[in-house]
Structure 1
Amino acid sequence: MKLKPISGDPLPSQAHPYRRAAVIGAGAWGTALAATLARAGVATRLWGRDHAVIDEINVKRTTERFLPGVTMPEGLHAVHRMQAALEGAEVALIVVPSRSVRSVARQVAEYAAPGMPVAICAKGIEAETGLLMTQVAEEELGRRPVGCVSGPTFARETALGHPTAATVAFPFSYADRLTPSEAPAVRLAVSLSTESFRAYVSDDLVGVEIGGAVKNVIAIACGVMTGAGFAENTRAALITRGLDEMKQLAEALGGRRETVTGLSGIGDLTLTCSSPTSRNMSLGQQLGQGIPRDACFDGRPVVVEGEVNATSVTDLARRLGLRLPICETVRAILHEGAAPGEAFAALWARPIEAEPRAMDLSFAHPATDQAIATLAERIS
């Protein structure tokens, strides 16, 4: 059946997908992105450190550790040598935890072709420098174009072919604007797009990346309150006010509000704050249930990006003179020894403010003592 175009849609231009891609990082999200590229017809090599995972993908066409029950497409080949992954590649995606982006980008720079675009698929802010992940990578990758892929995406759902959308962001040079079909963001978006994966294009790296960093912290806050027994009203309030914190930080760094209200901002925020599939939400739930941090996830050393970002996001905000109360509350709980009940009581009992920041109002909360007593008792 031939689909009819939606009324009013302009005739689309054509862009050529990349023919060969390298995905650096064979965890759940890296493998899901590699599978998406391969299903789109892109010859894809997936690099990972764990030989057992690499062999399982090549021999059994699955990875039970990260994506159990998902069959890998034939166009995907896994390797354990970085050089083998990058040889002949026209584009690379770095999909590792944020704390590893710098060291991995340095390795990629050894073998990637000059001028090859590299997309960062990690979300966060480097603690030592306050740099976004693309800025960290730029320092290591030389003159290669650096962008990012971000959005409301759980790896397993993406790999299973559930309809999914994400944003591909790269800077647009003068030449890119003259011939957008040749721009890295456009070509990678086309390369990732399948019958189920829909990619959008952006030139606002700051807005896209800030959304990815802040949403993880807000998700921990939502998890704490959910774990303590609170429900939809509470989560909706945290998501909405968390979005405001995201907007503040993005705008202060030159990002656009429109980006923050898109897939990589409110889209990713809503997803991450609404499901225990998110490790950030899950960590918060366990803390809200009174489980000590070292006992969460049954004591396993699970990487939770929002735990690291709680410090790096608030450090950056403080440097810029911004107030991010929810992010500060999560930081206090995770890194400053604050009890969850007392921290959230202090958050809820803050002075009454206007929602439009331009009004610049602040009045004492009339029920500060009661709020502190009630919440501190309920979140123990």
Structure 2
Amino acid sequence: MNKKIAILGAGSWGTALALLAARNGCQTLLWGHNLEHMMALAKDRQNKRYLPEHYFPATLAVTSDLNEVAAFSKLLLVCVPSHAFKKTLIELKPYLSNEIKIAWASKGFNPDDGSLLHEIVADIFSPQTPAAILSGPTFAHEVAENLPTAITIASSQPGFAKQLSYILHGGQFRTYTSADVVGVEVGGAVKNVLAIAAGIADGLGFGANTRAALITRGLNEIIRLGVELGGKQETFMGLAGLGDLILTCTDNQSRNRRFGLALGLGKDRITAMQEIGQEIEGISAAKETLLLARKHGIDMPITEQTYKVLYENLAPLTAVQNLLAREQKAES
């Protein structure tokens, strides 16, 4: 099999996956939209802005030219933020052949209408276009450091999942395949909202009991929504569900958790965003998740209170008190 892949998105996660593929002996092309940034990557042979000191192997090239991306490989891995996912694919489409295969490691919903990212791929290209999502408990820095990591690759076409696994699996990086695209997408999107909630609780000075309760009840919210949308319950107990949720809610490498911490400590939303200086997917995901929950009649109280903190200026402490004041009920 010809090991060749183009990765779109030169942030921390796209760069980490490009490093991984290149180290595995795959001819890799990393694309970014900012010409100045990509010229710096080409000159420095590292991404000083997001992953400094991780030097690019000879098998990793960079570009800002979509035409070059299309000519390089028919296998694309999209790592741009979810709000830029649709725009990136629309811009890319005129350069592509009908034989294209599209995977993505973006986590979130389409901000236009709350649709899942695989639905965007099917709409822009075709429902028959080979499509897959990569998700799981992964921090970019640890992947770049070559620390032991495991992810899920989900596709309705097993052969495509196996092809991606062939490129990425190896050494300290383990891949598992799945056919549950919807479940993996929902788990990856909603966990960012819950990470903000966990950060808020910790910023308010609450303890490990509170954090554990938020993670557990938050997982319940993910399962309720995910199953309603067509995901499989067992997916949410795996890497792309519980695994990613635990990671994002408990470690300060998570931008969403750090954002919540800042809010819990009394900082306003704009200040917290500026201090982090990178994409915080959970902010938009809170709105999109709540809209989906209301549309399908799913009760998601943690998500709802997080939304009110972000968009209705509800005090974080009041949000926690609202959750505690809910009517007593059976756990299941």
The alignment's TM-score, normalised by the length of structure 2, stands at 0.96
The CA deviation at 1:298 is 4.5
Tell me, in whole angstroms, the C-alpha distance in 2 between the residues paired with 1:102 and 1:294. 25
Per-residue CA distance 1:149-173 (angstroms, 9 max, x = gap): 111110111011011111111113x
Structure 1 residues 218 and 32, CA gap change in structure 2 (3 angstroms):
same
Partner of 1:77: 61
Partner of 1:23: 7
Query: Please, which of 258, 261, 266 is the counterpart of residue 285 of structure 1?
Result: 261
Tell me, in whole angstroms, the C-alpha distance in 1 between the residues paired with 2:278 and 2:60. 27
Identity of aligned residues (%): 39
Query: Please, which of 127, 138, 144 is the counterpart of residue 159 of structure 1?
Result: 144
Per-residue CA distance 1:52-78 (angstroms, 9 max, x = gap): 332233232211101012122211000
Partner of 1:219: 195
Determine whether 1:150 maps to 2:141: no
| CA-atom RMSD in angstroms | 1.4
The CA deviation at 1:19 is 1.7
3-state SS in 1 of match to 2:250: coil
Per-residue CA distance 1:192-227 (angstroms, 9 max, x = gap): 112011111011001000000110000000000001
Paired residues, number = 331
Partner of 2:105: 121
| Contact 2:135–2:240 (8 Å) recurs in 1 | yes
Tell me, in whole angstroms, the C-alpha distance in 1 between the residues paired with 2:53 and 2:273. 22
Q: How does 1:64-143 map to 2 (within 5 A)?
A: 64-142=48-126, 143=128
Q: Which structure has the bigger radius of gyration?
A: 1
User: Where in structure 1 are there 5+ consecutive unaligned residues?
Assistant: 1-15, 177-182, 357-380
Tell me, in whole angstroms, the C-alpha distance in 2 between the residues paired with 1:138 and 1:159. 31
Determine whether 1:294 maps to 2:270: yes
Tell me, in whole angstroms, the C-alpha distance in 2 between the residues paired with 1:320 and 1:197. 37
The CA deviation at 1:115 is 2.6
Amino acid at match of 2:185: E
Partner of 1:240: 216
The alignment's TM-score, normalised by the length of structure 1, stands at 0.84
Structure 1 residues 237 and 300, CA gap change in structure 2 (3 angstroms):
closer
Tell me, in whole angstroms, the C-alpha distance in 2 between the residues paired with 1:192 and 1:201. 12
Tell me, in whole angstroms, the C-alpha distance in 1 between the residues paired with 2:179 and 2:125. 19
Partner of 2:155: 170
Partner of 1:55: 39
Amino acid at match of 1:157: E
User: Where in structure 2 are there 5+ consecutive unaligned residues?
Assistant: none
3-state SS in 2 of match to 1:46: strand
Tell me, in whole angstroms, the C-alpha distance in 2 between the residues paired with 1:112 and 1:29. 24
Partner of 1:13: none
| Contact 1:106–1:141 (8 Å) recurs in 2 | no
